[in-house]
Amino acid sequence: MKKILSVVIAAIFAAGVFAQDNTPAMLKKKELFSKTELFDNSAIFSNAQANAELLKDYEANPGAYKANQLMPIATCYLAFGDIPKARAAVEAYLKDSPKNVRAIRMIGTICLLEKKTDEAIKYFKEAFDAGDERVVTFLASAYMLAQKNDEIAAYLPALKKLAKENLEALNIAVFYALRDPKNPDTNLKKELIENVDAKKAMQSATPESLNAVLRIYLSDRSAWTPQAVVLPARAAAFAEAWPIALEAYKKALAADPNNAIALRGMGLVSYRTGDVMGASKYIKKAYENGDKDAATDGMELFLLSNNIDIWNTFKPYIKDVSFTPQLRAGLVQYASRHSDASEIFFTAMSGDNTEPLYKDSAVLALIEECLKKYGSDSRAKGIAEKVAAEKAAK
């Protein structure tokens, strides 16, 4: 039970920190800080440097921030584990906006981290009563930590509803079902697993929630349906437990050979176990079965493998690739090291997220190498002009 509860509190901390632009760039948009609903996405606080820069700016001039702009500040402090400063920021916010459920939820989370469980429960109940459905995960966790499992029954309908699409809620609900090792509620556990929407639950996953769902799976593999088993499969892959991931994904695909989540998962497992072309086939099949995000997997597989056949496989799906600056930089690097890679270079240098490539000196040097090889192409002119402008600015 102690191990389970340690996972529970880790999951609560992750959920409390990692709450709609979902990039760290949001932390530079101070004018939006009062709109707390825009800062629910975990990715906003995923960059430690961006978090630190915001806190540095805040601490240099706290008076420049209004009370209703302090929630992102509090979240950054919480991300660094500075509980006292996080509390101070949330309390200042609550004086200005006492009914904001996100702030009430966060102060409850802080209380829980301070081991003030009863006080945390009070705040979580207040947030729930004010309409915050998400807080039921926190509330149930706090009751478990306080060994007040009977209190959870009143909130079970809300917890079950959230567990259908939130992995942390699913884990907490299953922990509740298993609260009595001598008499586990297997019917509740079965209901929870059968009703989960694996795709939505996957989108809510954190490292802590993946770790927890893998523990649950390993305690009883038979309880997992072919539709739901992709969750512990992804968790096993995250933990690099490839045999476990392979077993789980095979179970999913045996029931539905076109399960796109399982196909993409098998792509990762195949690559990490040495079957690059097998990985390509799984990812391509996922794309053909409607998962357009698989195109990005294919492009990443190309860079990992340096196999031009994989580029040729996924080139027709370029329109569906989500090109991050990192992915574009990888393509530029490939093009700089290989002959006859002009299409790869110009693909990398066109579209969104290309500006950061010119700002990075190492990538800029690679771009110049490519221009030496492909400069006669009409598409090179605009790129060369941007390179010249960037160098002149420095």
**Residue range(s) defining the domain that contains residue 118:** 1-147
**From CA 64, how far away is CA 191, in angstroms rounded?**
51
Q: Could you give the count of Cα atoms lying within 13 Å of 208 in the half-sphere of its Cβ?
A: 20
pLDDT of residue 23: 76
Residue 270 contacts residue 282 (beta carbons within 8 Å)? yes
Task: Locate 22 and state its tokens.
Answer: 């979902």
Report the candidate in 309, 246, 326, 290 with the shortest Cα–Cα distance to residue 298. Answer: 309
Q: What is the CATH number of the domain that holds 111?
A: 1.25.40.10
Give a yes or no: residue 155 inside a domain.
no
User: What's the pLDDT tens digit per position in 22-62?
Assistant: 678 899 999 999 998 888 877 788 889 999 999 999 999 99
Give a yes or no: residue 158 inside a domain.
no
Residue 297 contacts residue 283 (beta carbons within 8 Å)? yes
DSSP state, residue 274: T
Give a yes or no: residue 354 inside a domain.
yes
The residue among 130, 147, 164 that closes a domain is: 147
The residue among 110, 129, 147 that closes a domain is: 147
pLDDT mean over 170-183: 95
Residue 152 contacts residue 159 (beta carbons within 8 Å)? yes
pLDDT at 256 over 50: yes
Give a yes or no: residue 339 inside a domain.
yes
Can you give the pTM of this predicted structure? 0.82
pLDDT at 288 over 80: yes
User: What's the pLDDT tens digit per position in 131-167?
Assistant: 999 999 999 999 999 999 999 999 999 999 999 999 9
Task: Locate 103 and state its tokens.
Answer: 């702030």
Q: How far is CA 125 from its chain centroid?
A: 27
Please give the mean pLDDT across all residues of the chain.
Answer: 92
- Percent of the chain at pLDDT > 90 equals 85
**From CA 341, how far away is CA 50, in angstroms rounded?**
35
Give a yes or no: residue 135 inside a domain.
yes
Give a yes or no: residue 164 inside a domain.
no
Question: Cβ neighbours of residue 77 under 8 Å, at least 6 residues apart?
Answer: 55, 83, 85, 86, 89
Positive or negative, the CA dihedral 30, 32, 37, 43 is negative
Give a yes or no: residue 62 inside a domain.
yes
User: What's the pLDDT tens digit per position in 339-392?
Assistant: 899 999 999 999 988 999 999 999 999 999 999 999 999 999 999 999 999 988
The residue among 93, 120, 147 that closes a domain is: 147
φ, ψ of residue 156 to 5 degrees: the values are -60, -40
Give a yes or no: residue 20 inside a domain.
yes
Tally of structural domains, the chain: 2
pLDDT of residue 22: 60
